[in-house]
Structure 1
Amino acid sequence: MPYIIGIDGGGTQTTCAFQKVEEYDPLSKPQREVSVGAGTNVLTVGMETMKARLHDLIQKGLILHGIHSREVIGICAGLAGTRLEENRLVVEQVLEQIARELNLHEDIIITVKSDLYVALRGAMQPEHREGILVISGTGSNAIGLSRAGKLVFNGGWGHILGDEGSGYAIGLQALKVICKAYDRRESPTQLTGIILASLKLASEDELIHYIYGGAPNKQEIARLARLVIDASRQLDPVAVRILNEAGNELVELVRGLRSKSDDFDEATPVTVAGSILTYSDIVRNQFIEGLNVHRLGRYEPPFAEPVDGAVKVAMEAITKQNQ
């Protein structure tokens, strides 16, 4: 029985879906088996680590779901760090090596896209040919697909140069307001006690060593966003303000994308992905309100997950090959 594999690989996590070809229906919510592993952003983990993680994730998934390797006839990998063509081609070669090492089908069709592209294709309603997707997870960015197939990007500069409205930006802002509250330059906030306890710090003063001595990575800072969301549900005004500001920053991603292209208008479907927009009602509602107020597009809930977009692209490649 032929299978295709869809891969959604970000900096924090990689999801691998195994889909029976004969059971695939692009108009319905996908029915597939999924395995999850560590991040595979080639720019942050390096080529060798990326290859090892993809190899292990596919191999373990085949074993776990009882799939014979020769049954896999197509793979689409949507990976962070592959927007540049030179990176995409190198990753494509790596996947070809993995296919040989795992003894996948000799005529397997391998497609490599950016994680943004497969996320967009997964989120779009099946009947739509155009759309805009805004992602807010560890980082943030936006992508638009026109009816003519043109792609437009905005954001995606990383946590040093950008990522406004992301989990990292929310977490960092929370640390900043704790310092300001300690200095009496900000209102008192529940975030102080919640975050210091989570980081096992005795006082605000220890934040200096935490940030400059321990050098926490961006994923660790981004995880603090869930504490901000928790505080907002307790109606902490500082936490609510941080999340509203994040929603506004994500609106600006769409505004900037729209200014780059005349292919979109106020009727263009705009959808979302990523943990922040999934779990924070405040961020999502502020984002939707901003879209409406500025007439930047028409919000629609995502149809499916990013990995399902990879499955869709893999199936399209198989269908095109067989025409």
Structure 2
Amino acid sequence: MSLVLGIDGGGTKTVCLLMRDTGQVLGRGEAGASNYQNVGKQAALCSIQSAIAQAIVSLGTVQVKAICLGLAGVGRPWDIQVVQTFVQQLQSSQSLPVSWALQPSNVVICNDALIALVGGLGHTVGVVAIAGTGSIVWGQNSQGCTKRVGGWGPILGDSGGAYQIAISGLRSALRAYDGCDLPTTLEPRFREHLGLSSLEDLVNIIYQQGWSVQEIAALAPIVAQEATSGDEVALGILEDAVQEFVQATQVVMDSLFTPSQVIEVVTTGSVWQGLSLMRERFEASVIKSKPLAKVIFPRHEPAYGAALLALKTLWN
């Protein structure tokens, strides 16, 4: 029996799946963040190790023949080198009941978009539109060519993600408060939600208290709620976010596929799950421009995609 590990490491949590060569999942573990650029190398390694330990805890000592680590923020050569060091440290760890049987060809290190694509579709060809705190659209065709749009972070990009939706909502509320834009129910809703006597108190929360990207992004559902209630400003913000994703998806599809190909587009991330109005509009817009596209919900989680990529190295 050949066993592999699939690891999904993000800015919030790390998930590890232990899978046998038949595709059967034998264990699952979850730990803290493992985006080393945010939490540091040691904390990232500890999260990965903890997730592995949880995935194998009920099986005693196991022999692992392949591993795939799909980690957020890993896309450049020096990132690969850092994660290769993680793999070396895992193999020398005395605290993991793992008998490692890894060859260099059985170690896959990639970004989290690839494993989201493979997990979401169950195979390697198609497009994934990721809308969480940030955003990215990523695709791969049958020739192995890839195309990415977005994923530039909260300052440089991430259009359509929860952070940008929330920031647009806050800015619109403040412009309405100033009298420079249309009145919007976002103004009283933000004030009520945050317990503010005046929107001017946002300055204290955002700047003096130093709210994180994640804390600001958590306000995105308020924009969605007001859009559902018919607020024109909130509706406009969501429509802009949708069109950003539609354009990005069209660019990826045009770069990788011919107009006659049937393309699956999987939507993954908290925005698609929580802001159903956005997903419905995204699906309608994509199909209108690409009638052969099929917009689907994820078939499996990203860690499952990582495990499939690890398994694939045993078949080659």
Normalising by the residue count of structure 1, what TM-score does the alignment of the two structures yield? 0.87
Match of 2:284 in 1: 289
Contact 2:29 2:53 in 1 (8 A): no
Alpha-carbon distance in 2 for matches of 1:203, 1:69: 59
Amino acid in the other structure paired with 1:140: S
**What displacement does 1:83 show?**
0.8
Are 1:111 and 2:108 counterparts?
Answer: yes
Which string of whole-angstrom CA distances, capped at 9 and with x for unpartnered residues, describes residues 120-175 of structure 1? 1112254xx52111111011111111111111111111110000000111111111
Distance verdict in 2 for CA 1:178–1:318, change over 3 Å: same
Match of 1:28 in 2: none
Are 1:149 and 2:144 counterparts?
Answer: yes
Match of 1:53 in 2: 47
Alpha-carbon distance in 2 for matches of 1:99, 1:225: 41
Normalising by the residue count of structure 2, what TM-score does the alignment of the two structures yield? 0.88
Match of 1:4 in 2: 4
Contact 2:129 2:266 in 1 (8 A): yes
Match of 1:316 in 2: 312
**What displacement does 1:75 show?**
2.1
Contact 2:9 2:33 in 1 (8 A): yes
Q: Which of 234, 238, 241 is equivalent to 1:239?
A: 234
Amino acid in the other structure paired with 1:86: W
Aligned length, in residue pairs: 309
Superposed CA RMSD: 2.3
Contact 1:124 1:303 in 2 (8 A): yes
Amino acid in the other structure paired with 2:36: V
Secondary structure of 2:98's partner?
coil
Match of 2:170 in 1: 175
1:268-307 matches, within 5 Å, as 268-295=263-290, 298-301=293-296, 302-307=298-303
Q: Which of 210, 231, 237 is equivalent to 2:205?
A: 210
Are 1:256 and 2:251 counterparts?
Answer: yes
**What displacement does 1:198 show?**
3.4
- Structure 1: 5+ residue stretches without partners: 26-30
Alpha-carbon distance in 2 for matches of 1:265, 1:251: 16
Q: Which moved more, 1:42-51 or 1:143-152?
A: 42-51
Distance verdict in 2 for CA 1:229–1:13, change over 3 Å: farther
Amino acid in the other structure paired with 1:81: G
Alpha-carbon distance in 2 for matches of 1:235, 1:34: 42
Contact 2:3 2:20 in 1 (8 A): yes
Amino acid in the other structure paired with 1:9: G
**What displacement does 1:257 show?**
2.6
Secondary structure of 1:176's partner?
helix
Distance verdict in 2 for CA 1:184–1:153, change over 3 Å: same
**What displacement does 1:248 show?**
0.7
